[in-house]
Amino acid sequence: MTTSTAILQNVSSTIGAQFDAAKAAPVAPSADNVVYKEFGAARPLPLPNTTSFSSLMAEFEADDEMAGHLADARRSLGQQLYADEPQTLSALRLTAGLSQIRLAELANTTQPHVAKIESGKTDPGTDTIARIAQALGVDEDTAFRAIRKQRETRG
């Protein structure tokens, strides 16, 4: 009877990224090794007869009355969440009653870019800061300080 040994390595890499062999534990090649690759779905498949959250929010935002209620709820949430904290971009956005999507539209950027700015993962350029300031109805210095404070609190 022949036995095979499976060698398990907890190594993962992004598809398209170069594999760094230095991070992987050395394994001597042999006919007894079992090599495998696990693939996960990039995005979960939608369930039948359901609506995604983003689609539901888009539907609510398209209704003027519901959009007004959502803006009021954001303002209230911003006041409650950030009452004792320094003024960050998130606080300014919520206090203005805006979603990330709406701020992105008004500032001529994308929602993922706004999310990265709010999470402190990216530093926007001066043109983006100016557009964000205009969208929020604040001066550019206030927007700059809020973005900088956001980086300090999230970074």
Rounded CA gap, 36 and 57, in Å? 41
Instruction: Quote the Cα angle for 111-117-123, to 5°.
Output: 130
- CATH code (residue 129): 1.10.260.40
Name the most confidently modeled range: 3-7, 25-29, 39-43.
39-43
What single-letter amino acid sits at 103? L
Residue 44 lies in a domain: no
Task: Report the chain's mean pLDDT, rounded to a whole number.
Answer: 79
Mean pLDDT over 43-62 rounds to 82
Question: In which element (H, E) is residue 6 found?
Answer: strand 5-6
Does residue 106 surpass a pLDDT of 80? yes
**Does residue 4 fall inside a structural domain?**
no
pLDDT for position 19? 53
The H or E element that residue 34 is part of is: strand 33-34
Tell whether the model's pLDDT for residue 110 goes beyond 60: yes
Structural domain span for residue 62 = 53-154
Q: What is the rounded CA–CA span in Å between residue 62 and residue 56?
A: 10
Give a yes or no: residue 32 inside a domain.
no
Is residue 87 assigned to a domain?
yes
Residue 35 lies in a domain: no
Number of domains in the chain: 1
